[in-house]
Chains A and B, each alone.
Chain A
Amino acid sequence: MNEQHIKQQSVLHAQNIKKSYGTRGNVQEVLKGINLHVQKGEFVGIMGPSGAGKTTLLNVLATIDRSTAGTILIDGDDISKMKDARLSTFRRDKLGFIFQDYNLLDTLTVKENILLPISLGKVKKKEAETRFNEIAEVLGIANLANKYPHEVSGGQKQRTSAARALINEPSMVFADEPTGALDSKSAASLLKTMEDVNEQRGVTIMLVTHDAIASSYCSRVVFLKDGMIYSELYRGDKTRQAFFQEILKVQGVLGGDSVDSI
């Protein structure tokens, strides 16, 4: 496909997103008006100190939570106006998810877990099988198909989770701290794979992380602070190392919270 053409297509279009929690008199505004556009094929990282609203933003964009104000278009559909049942279908058809805790179903094998999202759709068994083989190959878990989650390593679990996120060929994949529970080697390997998937298959990914190394794999990093967008960095043609240094600098200015979860 024409790269120029891809760049012009907007997958996610969020305008003035606000989200507050609490009841009258004790309202806490977590997101204070966020504008964010993601083009097709982008690999966007969301960073920020804890309490900045990273996960809230991801949940709102990923249709898991509802925003208090603002409009969100994904693939041209306004998700802020959809009913719950319609949102469910939308998530299943258009979105993919990777969670920090993998969230695999313990009772299902790796293959069964991966095929779950397309189990109710119109995907034929043969087509599903093809997709599974292809994705399992890319993620290097083809030989684990019949193993149960408890029988494989953390990195392999997260790859399974990633494969599950990709099986329905989503418009966008949301990843919430996917490397949070992994050792550095597994983390690097997973991020490399995600980078490959992004580059070679043109999958749009949004990655929420507090880890500068993880976000250095992205093509763009958005920094949040106190519910607002603080700044943005584009990787462009820079090496990952150079990009990493840049991210560190912004992080330093932001409050140097690289130890946020501890």
Chain B
Amino acid sequence: MENKIIISPSPHIHSGDSVSKNMYGVLIALMPALLVSLYYFGLGSLIVTLVSVAACVLFEYLIQKFFFKQPATITDGSAILTGLLLAFNLPSNLPVWIILIGALAAIGIGKMSFGGLGNNIFNPALVGRVFLLISFPAQMTTWPVPGTFPMSYMDGQTGATVLSLMNEGVTQLPTYTDMLLGNMGGSLGEVSAIALVLGLIFLLVRKIITWHIPISIILTSFIFTGIMHLVNPAEYAHPIIHILSGGLLLGAIFMATDYVTSPMSKSGMLVFGIGIGLLTSLIRLFGAYPEGMSFAILIMNALTPLINLYFKPKHFGGK
């Protein structure tokens, strides 16, 4: 090998971009929301996050090592990301054993059963969350009340989320300021709109994602819930409340934009986003569940191959 000329096909240079750079980029974008959740949910948030991340990385390592018998790729950051996103979708008072089951579902069923990173159809973190939501509806729908660095984990006071309040017809809701900052009940990563939007700006600036999916989801839900609000303001909440509450922003910015499970062309991304916006609003307004974001994303994940087939990138010179 010493001094032989290397021959390879062009191009001979590379941008230096890598899978792990993208994954760690998303992780950085999630940091503001993580900090907010540590502030409001304290110890519980810390435990849930650490357990979820550690479990996802461990399960990925074990499955790759013992089932696939291939070198583990946990350093690429995708398992950490799945763990963090799963944690963001869980209440901060969830028992450890349930988190472990969720992580196993996310990595084992959501990702590895399809062949690992790049081959999964559904967003792994959402597979984990929905698995838990269906299996443990009680634990998954009791949220702790936000405090200031509360040191309680599973024994704290619990309350409801904005959406479940609305679903039950309660009219007294948190103020907009609280909703923007994240001073309300909910899964630990979804509460602060400002932190999530900061993450979005980071992702857009670093060109990790394009605007198409998040903006189309937010706009669609805004318009749809807005129309319903105009039709019947008593029954249906103001669209801004819908945007700020629940997992809509978290889903639109971090879950729906998952590379693997979203369409490849820009037109496809718009269709995907509009679909999620519509489905989320429908489930929220007319469904039995107060929150529909995860279901909407999973349904559109399933439709992604079809969207890819019909919405091709814009071809140079037209047809």
Q: Are chains A and B native binding partners rather than an unrelated pairing? A: no
Question: Taking beta carbons and an 8 Å cutoff, which residues of A are in contact with B?
Answer: none
**Chain B residues close to A by CB (< 8 Å):** none
